[in-house]
Chain A
Amino acid sequence: NAGVTQTPKFQVLKTGQSMTLQCAQDMNHNSMYWYRQDPGMGLRLIYYSASEGTTDKGEVPNGYNVSRLNKREFSLRLESAAPSQTSVYFCASRLLGVAEAFFGQGTRLTVV
């Protein structure tokens, strides 16, 4: 049982480049989330999708876009990467709003 899978695990981008972080879950969960983890800042919510077909902004959505492609997949896109977006990105999913969330292994992104 794979759980939540993120790709890629590591990525280096040049300022201004674009990329998409992929996330897929095989647990038939309704809600999916994207977070960034920075030292001293904890986990900050970028975007979330309560169910297939819906997305909502979190605390730090600027510079990002998301797509809930289907129930399984929730992608995060950086259109024009900036050094301030250097971070570790985590995807998570859960069945219901108040259930346990399951996390991916993270994507370490460096923007130079």
Chain B
Amino acid sequence: AQRVTQPEKLLSVFKGAPVELKCNYSYSGSPELFWYVQYSRQRLQLLLRHISRESIKGFTADLNKGETSFHLKKPFAQEEDSAMYYCALSGGAAGNKLTFGGGTRVLVKP
């Protein structure tokens, strides 16, 4: 079975402060991991994926297979980062099964 856990339901930080969203996963094979974001009144959209090893909007995420984690980080949060963030895992046959965590709401205060 594959499972994604996001332990924090809400993170509230001040503008300019660092923010880290935790994601832990359970999967017996080699997972493909993603972070998706949902801004207010917008569709859920991809933020970044571990295979790309890229930084998007200042966010980075590192896959730690030993700790089965894929935490999302940004050194200086901005007000426009306020949104709902979901960690997701592709598994199953050919990686077709896409499951999400419970989500973390980020609120960046001015």
A40 at interface by CB-CB < 8 Å: yes
- Interfacial chain B residues near A35, Cβ < 8 Å: 100
Q: Is the CB of A97 within 8 A of B101?
A: no
Question: Within the complex, what minimum Cβ distance (angstroms) separates B57 from chain A?
Answer: 16
Given contacts A42-B6, A98-B90, contact A58 B99 (CB under 8 A): yes
Number of A-B contacts (CB under 8 A): 64
Q: Is the CB of A50 within 8 A of B96?
A: yes
Question: Within the complex, what minimum Cβ distance (angstroms) separates A56 from chain B?
Answer: 7
Q: Is the CB of B102 within 8 A of A58?
A: no
A-B contacts besides A98-B95, A105-B43, 7 pairs, CB < 8 Å: A41-B102, A45-B99, A48-B97, A56-B97, A92-B98, A97-B90, A98-B51
| A residues adjacent to B (C-beta < 8 A) | 31, 33, 35, 40-45, 48, 50, 56, 58-59, 90, 92, 94, 96-98, 100-101, 103-106
**Closest residue to B6 on the A side, CB-wise?**
A42
B17 at interface by CB-CB < 8 Å: no
In the assembled complex, 9 residue pairs joining A and B whose CB atoms fall closer than 8 Å, in A order, are A35-B100, A42-B6, A42-B102, A45-B99, A58-B97, A58-B99, A59-B99, A90-B44, A98-B32
**Closest residue to A101 on the B side, CB-wise?**
B98
Tell me the complex Cα distance, A50–B94, Å: 9
- Interfacial chain B residues near A33, Cβ < 8 Å: 98
Tell me the complex Cα distance, A43–B86, Å: 8
Given contacts A50-B94, A97-B95, contact A103 B44 (CB under 8 A): yes
Tell me the complex Cα distance, A43–B35, Å: 13
- Interfacial chain A residues near B32, Cβ < 8 Å: 97-98
B9 at interface by CB-CB < 8 Å: yes
